[in-house]
Structure 1
């Protein structure tokens, strides 16, 4: 209705202008000039009406399609578009609708992922909390000081695990949200490796696992030394915990013209082929149910943990533009390779 009324008003104004032109031509030049003016005006009016009606039909179609999108339709079609300003408008509206549809899909995926993550977090935290609840009555009823002290130490260990879990999850959430303050400055890869393994020296001795450092002192990359060291520490810790006593964990730093690499490998049983695609998934702990089964069967060596240390490592490396890949070494054992490119193409 609005389009038709607008077209009627425009036509009426054009007809009035033509009548005034015809009257002026008749007064000044006679009836012949007035006739030609009238014929030309009618032709112009018909052409104007045809073009205007076509434009109003296209706009009406666009309006209907946009209304369909707003009420659950899929997209704006382009099959009937031709050259002209209306076609340009249609193309831009189509881009907008495609972008909105993509954004809607991403939001739906993120919503599902968030729900799954919350369920996983709830499950992971509930297990040690349940153990804490079961231990407290035993501690209260224990008469033997040695037994009570041992139970308190176990309780402290569980609380430390819960605190570590919560802290790690917060770090992963910050990385996902882009809120993690990561610097990008020249960093010595050898210094990062030393900083990563330093907190694990005592644990290495307790596990009877040797640590071998093969460092290129000249290797550098642009990144954040603190967070890269934490990523490497998580990987080294994972290798240490699942390497048999008497084994070895090796950290090698090297560089070439294209990338700087930090490779962590061990002499453990390696990673089962079916578990390799899932190594960096959060809360994925392989098919083995305990450490002994994992070592014996060669499964993913995250048993006894929460399965988020490697996920955090990958998130920290990826946020700096690097890559982290897991594989099995030719001589046996797991191999984790961090690569930081020197050139971005």
Structure 2
């Protein structure tokens, strides 16, 4: 818009200046011819020729009254070509140039007055002028073009401004609406990302945040449902058998003792559940401290396996160990004992009577690799990726009967993760299951 206005201003200014120069040049040429002309008749013919052949109107006068009265108060007389002050300048031999509405011609004109002197006396004057309407005529078409261009430019600016504002405000309004829904617990809404600028990046980050919150909320709901489900069964057993004892339904002391034993077992299971939940909550906290010390890993595994010898013999299970005694790892001994203990507990629980469990410890590059292979029923491909999730059980009824909380592998996963290791489980339904733990070697 500024450029359009500037173009119009400069074009008009230069065009008017050019016309002014032409008038001055024509006047000066006539002034020179006046000095060389043989007589007044020849000069008047030249003036007439200039008037006819150019766009300017030329008036030659030797009448002082036409130039201006000799007194100031008559300077605006209608027939005067110039004012009193301008006449004084002519008397001094100076040109007079002006642009104004002239009372004699009843229109705006551009005029140049050239003094004609003889012996330094003013004897006449050349009055050259052009109506401003004629000067402005070439501007009519460009004025229209500029006006249309200006309207189009303004429309374009307004359209671009609205579009840009909409690009900025629409995602922000969506964020405001969605954040209000999020504060009410609805994390399912997302912002449509259509741009790659800062606002688009902000919208994408907002969607990532919403997805994370939705996932956290989903896990929280699942956690509460699972905890409620896990506690409901033992609590219902305890309530039922307690009421039976109080109501005398138990009958003899042996039946009452059996009921109390069931209540005791359920209490222990609830205690293990609460302990595992607190343990898992600590391990999932990034700030939870973990010891880092060199450990003879084979010795640690042997000591844990020794504690499970009794439960293994009760099912006639043989723990077959093949351990590299030279392997040293960095880690927290208590937590790594918990890893081996949970894995052996699972292996013994799911291995049928009389079947072996193989425990192997080897080196693989810069890692120590612990493999525990049971002889159990295996895990389906559908269930395999989920076994490290909290409360996930392949066979819920059987696992609960055998006393598991469904948190053992989740705890193992978190401990291995904090040791910068890897946990992998290989299994097929109807076959054995192999748990592979990789831990960095001591350097």
By percentage of residues, which structure has more helix?
Answer: 1
Aligned pairs, how many? 273
CA distance in 2, matches of 1:213, 1:302: 29
Shift of 1:171: 1.7
Q: Is the 8 A contact 1:209 1:249 kept in 2?
A: yes
- Aligned equivalent of 1:326: 425
Where do residues 29-108 of structure 1 align in structure 2 (5 Å cutoff)? Answer: 57=161, 60=165, 63-65=168-170, 67-72=172-177, 74=191, 78=195, 91-108=197-214
Shift of 1:262: 1.0
Matched position secondary structure for 2:434 = strand
Shift of 1:261: 0.9
Q: Is the 8 A contact 1:69 1:76 kept in 2?
A: no
CA distance in 2, matches of 1:320, 1:62: 47
Shift of 1:198: 4.2
CA distance in 2, matches of 1:234, 1:76: 46
- Which of 307, 312, 321 aligns to 2:411? It is 312
CA distance in 2, matches of 1:76, 1:285: 39
CA RMSD of aligned residues (A): 3.4
Structure 1 unmatched ranges of 5 or more: 1-49, 80-90, 292-300
Matched position secondary structure for 2:284 = helix
Cα deviations by residue, 1:134-154 (Å, 9 ceiling, x for unpaired): 111333424533333333222
Shift of 1:288: 7.1
- Which of 140, 145, 167 aligns to 2:253? It is 145
TM-score under structure 2 normalisation?
A: 0.54
Is 1:248 the counterpart of 2:356 in the alignment? yes
Q: Is the 8 A contact 1:285 1:303 kept in 2?
A: no
Q: Is the 8 A contact 1:220 1:255 kept in 2?
A: no
CA distance in 2, matches of 1:97, 1:192: 51
Cα deviations by residue, 1:33-71 (Å, 9 ceiling, x for unpaired): xxxxxxxxxxxxxxxxx9xx99x9598567525633433
Is 1:337 the counterpart of 2:436 in the alignment? yes
Bigger radius of gyration, 1 or 2? 2
- Which of 309, 331, 335 aligns to 1:227? It is 335
Is 1:193 the counterpart of 2:298 in the alignment? no
CA distance in 2, matches of 1:302, 1:239: 16
Shift of 1:282: 2.5
- Which of 110, 124, 133 aligns to 2:239? It is 133
- Aligned equivalent of 1:120: 226
**More displaced 10-residue stretch of structure 1: 141-150 or 261-270:** 141-150
Q: Quickly say closer, same or farther: Cα 1:304–1:161, change in 2 above 3 A.
A: closer
CA distance in 1, matches of 2:254, 2:237: 20
Cα deviations by residue, 1:74-108 (Å, 9 ceiling, x for unpaired): 267547xxxxxxxxxxx445444433331222012
CA distance in 1, matches of 2:418, 2:290: 8
Q: Is the 8 A contact 2:291 2:331 kept in 1?
A: yes
Shift of 1:310: 1.7
- Aligned equivalent of 2:286: 178
Matched position secondary structure for 2:264 = helix
Matched position secondary structure for 2:390 = coil
CA distance in 2, matches of 1:107, 1:203: 43
CA distance in 1, matches of 2:401, 2:200: 48
